[in-house]
Structure 1
Amino acid sequence: MKKKFSFILIAITLLLGSCAMMQTIVKSTFPYTANLTIPASASVGEPHTAISTANSFDQDFTKDGNNAGKISEVRIISAKLESKDPSNYNIGNIVSLRVYMARADGSDEVQVAVRKDITEAVGNSIVLDIDNSHFLDELVRQPSVRIRMVYLLRKGSDVDVNLKVTLGLGAYPRN
């Protein structure tokens, strides 16, 4: 029992004592989320764009912030799209979409997720195919990031549709 307690105490000490490790855990645990709107006026068969600012629990990683320099190799590890209002909106009304992440002013934009040939009866939630070919280190150090979704509709809607994009990130401690 004493060995087990000592091991746990050492593990907690190392975890809390290492800022880089703690920042890595925080960055890898809390996703960025953005609410995007598809207006009722959006036409079928033409590409459209929806833009929103992403929020995250650990949003205060900035270059002047405390520990942003202690994480590296930040990449997208998961992406999900779900209907918020109406909650039963069929995402199958969208043919395809691409999701981009950028600085608040739109610069340094990179594609982070894509979904082509969405099935017509997919329902109100889908997992997107991630594009983790880019490091997002500089973007996550910004006070806010912009999410842009480019989509093509299969079927229009009578009301504005609010969708939530959730982007999970993975990071490593900087050596």
Structure 2
Amino acid sequence: MKKLLFVLAAVILVFTRCGTMQSIIKSSFPYTATLVIPASSSTGTTLTAISQGTSFDQNFAKNGNNGAQVSDVHIVSAKMVATIPSDFNIGNLVSAKIYMAKANGEGEVLVASRTDIGANSGNNITLDIDNTHFLDELVREKSVRIKMVYQLRNKISLDASLRVVLGITADPTK
């Protein structure tokens, strides 16, 4: 049994270092971030919420991630889900733009947006993606920053937490 576990661990280690496996991992596990809209936010003005984005390989890889094994990385999907309160109406937002950047804010890139959020959108929406930029440099970072620039339609009575899920695709490095 110990030999089988050892062999399995060795195979996983070898495959996680190869570009094909890294492109599958990067394409299968999204970047996520929880952004908080404070109840004190005012309506009709442009506001910002910032959080650290996380992904599977950043959480579990020995050196932070294996982004050097992939190229041609871009966004393929973006979703926003209310988490606290879970029934928060995202329609309280007029618009939202999602940016991804290095942890220090450098290299900021627009990755998703929604300018026409309906007043009765419910607790989750799909965002329009912007895949005109490659994110190769960002996925090589140990951590990334996710920023939302938004406008409130209605005053909210409680802080609202929104989870942003950014799906990416990547090719093995040639």
Q: TM-score, normalised by structure 1?
A: 0.86
- Contact persistence 1:85–1:162 (CA under 8 A): yes
Shift, 1:67, TM fit: 4.0
1:20 aligned onto 2:41? no
Alpha-carbon RMSD across the aligned residues, in angstroms, is: 2.1
Quote how far apart the aligned CAs of 1:90 are.
0.3
Question: Which segments of structure 1 move beyond 3 Å, counting only runs of 4 or more?
Answer: 15-18, 64-67
Alignment correspondent of 1:72: 71
Residue in structure 2 matched with residue 163 of structure 1 by the alignment = 162
Find the residue that maps to 1:59 and give its secondary structure: helix
Structure 2 residue 97 is matched with structure 1 residue 88: no
Structure with max Cα Rg: 1
Equivalence map 1:133-172=2 (5 Å): 133-172=132-171
- Report what 1:124 is aligned to: 123
Give the deviation of 1:69 after TM superposition. 2.1
Give me the whole-angstrom Cα distance separating, in 2, the residues matched to 1:157 and 1:128: 22
The answer as to whether partners of 1:76 and 1:112 remain within 8 angstroms in 2 is yes
**Aligned residue number for residue 103 of structure 1:** 102
Give the direction of change, closer, same or farther, for the CA distance of 1:28–1:164 in structure 2 (3 Å limit).
same
Shift of 1:156: 1.3
Q: How many corresponding residue pairs?
A: 161
Q: Does structure 2 conserve the Cα–Cα contact (< 8 Å) formed by 1:60 and 1:143?
A: no
Whether 2:34 is the aligned partner of 1:32: answer: no
Deviations 1:25-81 (A, max 9, x none): 00000000000000000001001000000011111699x777432210000110000
Q: Once the two structures are superposed, what CA deviation does each residue of 1:70-111 show, in whole Å capped at 9, x if it has no partner?
A: 210000110000100000000001000100000000000000
Equivalent-residue separation in structure 2 for 1:27 and 1:39 (angstroms): 32
AA matched with 1:37: V
Give structure 2 stretches of 5+ with no counterpart: 1-13
Aligned identity (percent) is: 55
User: Counterparts of 2:40 and 2:16 in 1: how far apart (Å)?
Assistant: 53
Q: CA deviation at 1:154?
A: 0.3
How far apart are 1:174 and its partner, in Å?
Answer: 1.3
